[in-house]
A and B are shown apart, each in its own frame.
Chain A
């Protein structure tokens, strides 16, 4: 004997694993599932109830497919994170990053604070050693995020997110390279945070995108 309630509970457990669904969403989808099940049996009374339930589940769609559509509805947070990250990144170039002579050990040529733009040039010249050069080059990854992120597919956005978060970790290195953390100023922390913000935003975006973008029955526009 087919246990409909048991099958519905198992279906709900499967769907509940996806974080995009609220309890109300699941209630609504369950109502649909039960209606679809009844119609399957009405249309073909000879159909095995278990088979009718499977058909109803299939017409409703998989948890993964549906959750990505639901996530899109909520998916504005990633944009805010990425845009805030970009703004903070831009700001970091004008904020003081370090103090001349102290942080980068260039001698007391100047006295005063070093803005982000100059700090970047010094780092590229090797003032922070080889790791410093790599760290400065992470700016290229940031530049990559400026291009057509909204249209990019899951794998591309996911890769950029991973690169940005790896860059964040690499850029933490300066904290250990300087004599004391107080040698680094707001510009450095803003620069560091911008990678974290954009990386997290892109990771959220990647998670909300469908695995493949070819599904013909996707209704919600990206």
Chain B
């Protein structure tokens, strides 16, 4: 694991939706696990403040991009699991195209060889 990369709140805000949708595209998950995956997938470079994920989940759920369901976890605790909705899948495709275009453009501008 490497150290978290400093990021503006605008960047974190803009990337939170595609990040959550992408993780849920790989199967249902819950808050704690989503945060662990963000940290793991980014090798610790992307570090979200724990509590701030929940308002994001609430907004995505309100917008119908993800669906939440309460179930009892193995630990015996009630836990809210989220899965991607059909609308969320479509939005993820749009987000993906946008981010790839942005990433590709920036990479070329910066002269990165490993694009």
> Which residues of A does B touch, CB under 8 Å?
24-25, 27-29, 31-32, 34-36, 59-61, 65-66, 69-70, 72-73, 215-221
With both beta carbons as reference points, the residue of chain A lying nearest to B77 in the complex is identified as: A31
Give the segment of B12-20, B21-29, B84-92, B100-108 that binds chain A.
B12-20
Taking the nearest CB of chain B, how far is it from the CB of A27, in angstroms?
A: 6
User: CA of A28 to CA of B73 in the docked complex: distance in angstroms?
Assistant: 12
Main secondary structure of the interface of A (DSSP, over half): helix
- Say whether A60 contacts B50, CB under 8 Å: yes
Main secondary structure of the interface of B (DSSP, over half): helix
- Say whether A27 contacts B80, CB under 8 Å: yes
With both beta carbons as reference points, the residue of chain B lying nearest to A220 in the complex is identified as: B55
Q: Return the CB mask of B4-16 against A: 1 if under 8 Å, else 0.
A: 0011111011101
The answer to whether A31 and B51 touch (CB under 8 A), given A219-B12, A220-B13, is no
Count of chain A to chain B residue pairs whose CB atoms are closer than 8 Å in the complex: 90
Contacts of B79 in A (CB 8 A): 28, 31
- Say whether A219 contacts B53, CB under 8 Å: yes
- Say whether A34 contacts B77, CB under 8 Å: yes
- Say whether B51 contacts A36, CB under 8 Å: no
* B62 in contact (CB, < 8 A): yes
* B44 in contact (CB, < 8 A): no
| Interface size range on B against A | 20 to 34
* Besides A32-B50, A219-B52, 12 other A-B contacts (C-beta < 8 A): A25-B54, A31-B79, A32-B31, A32-B32, A61-B49, A69-B52, A72-B55, A73-B58, A215-B9, A217-B49, A219-B13, A219-B48
User: CA of A78 to CA of B59 in the docked complex: distance in angstroms?
Assistant: 17
A-B contact pairs, 19 of them (CB 8 A): A25-B58, A31-B31, A31-B77, A35-B32, A59-B50, A59-B51, A60-B51, A66-B51, A66-B55, A69-B52, A69-B54, A73-B55, A215-B9, A216-B9, A217-B49, A218-B12, A219-B9, A219-B56, A221-B13
User: CA of A36 to CA of B54 in the docked complex: distance in angstroms?
Assistant: 14
Contacts of A36 in B (CB 8 A): 32, 50
Most buried by B among A27, A34, A35: A35
Contacts of A25 in B (CB 8 A): 54, 58
Contacts of B77 in A (CB 8 A): 31, 34
With both beta carbons as reference points, the residue of chain B lying nearest to A29 in the complex is identified as: B54
User: CA of A29 to CA of B12 in the docked complex: distance in angstroms?
Assistant: 21
Most buried by A among B49, B53, B73, B77: B49
Taking the nearest CB of chain B, how far is it from the CB of A100, in angstroms?
A: 52
